[in-house]
Structure 1
Amino acid sequence: MKKALFIIVLVLLIDQISKIYIKTNFFYGEEVVVFDWFRIHFIENNGMAWGAEFGGKAGKLFLTIFRLFAITGIGYWLYTSVKKKAHTILIVAISLIFAGAMGNIIDSVFYGTIFNTPGGLNIATLFSDKPYGKLFFGKVVDMLYFPMWSGNLPSWIPFYGGKPFTFFNAIFNVADTAISTGVGLLIVFNKKVFPKEV
C-alpha cells in the first residue's frame, strides 16, 4: 500500500503543479514549441475525452458526480487488490488510474471556485475573490500536445482523402497520461495481472 500511495501522491503532485503553473502563467490558447513534435498548449475542457460536451450544466454535474462514484470504486479495487497481494503490475496500474482520475476530479470539483477565469484575455489568478464558476463546475486544464505529423492525407483514402490531418492532435495532461499508462499496463500484461484459475 505504501508503494501505491507513493505513486498516487507523486502523480497528483506533478499533475496539479503543472496545471496550476500553466493556468497562472499562460494565456488561454498560448503555445510554447519545445520541439517540432512536442508543444505546451494551454486549453481547457469540461472533462470528457477529446473535449466532448453534453447536456450543458446538468451534463457537467452528472459527469463530475459519476466520476466521484467511479473513483470510489477504483479505490476499493486498489484496496482489495493490495489485501489479496495481487501482482505488482496490477497494483501499479490501478494506482496510476486512480491518481489520474483524482487529478481530473480535482479540476472539475474545485478549479471553478479558486480561479478567476477559465482563460480568455487575462492570465488566471489562484484563490481569486471572483472565481469563474461554482463547486463541481470547474474545467480541466490540458497542455501536452504532440503533433508528430501534419499534412494532407493521400487522395485514395475513403472519406478523408486529400484533407489536412494531424497525428497526434489530442491535447491532454499528466492525469490523462497516468490513466492511459495504467490501462495500457492492464492490456499488455493481461495474463499476468488476471491469471486464470486452474
Structure 2
Amino acid sequence: MDEAAQPATRTGGRRRTTLRSRAPRAAVAGALAGLALLTSACGLSGSPSTVAYVGDSRVTQSQLDSALSGVQQTLQAGQQVSSAAVVNVMIHGALADEIAQTNGIAITDAQRDTVIKGSNLAALLDVPDAKPIAYDLADQQLVAEAVGSEAYLKAVQGIEVELNPRFGVLDPTQKIIADGQSSSLSLPAGS
C-alpha cells in the first residue's frame, strides 16, 4: 500500500494494537468487578502495560512512553508536556480512527501532514516518536470535518473508553482525563 493511501488506523508508521473482540473479556470483567474493588483500587481489566482501551483498540504504555519522549524533543527549554495531555491526544486519535473506519473514511498521511504543517505543531512531524501524536491530532480534525462536528461528538460519546486508573478519571462524555480527580479509593492524610 503506498503512503498516500494509508488507512485511518495508521499512525506514523505504527499501528495501534487492535483487539478482535472485547465482549467476552468485558463480561468476565463485569462479573468480577466487585471482587476487583475489594482486592485493588488500581488496575485495568487487561494488562498493566495498557494505558487505555478505546473501542477495539488499545493504547499501550510503550506507545505513551515513546510519544512523550518524542513530544518533549520538540519543546523549548523550560516547557513541559503532561502525560495526561498526551494520553488524551492518543485516546482521541483512536476515537477518530474508529469513527473513520465506521464511516468508511480513508485519511492519507499527505492530508495529515497538510493539517499539521499549517499549525504551530509542525515540529512534531520532524521527530519520529512525536509524529503519531501529530497524526492523532490531524485525524481528529479531518474526521470531524468529514462527518460534521455534531455527528463526530455523538460518535465519540458512543465509543467505550476504559482508562487505566493510574492515569486518573475519564470524563465519560468528553472522553478526556478530568483534572484534579483520582480513581484511587485512598485519600491523603488530613482530607
**Class of the TM-score when normalised by the shorter of the 2 chains:** under 0.3
TM-score, structure 1 as length reference: 0.23
Look at both structures and tell me which one has the larger radius of gyration over its CA atoms. Answer: 1
TM-score, structure 2 as length reference: 0.23
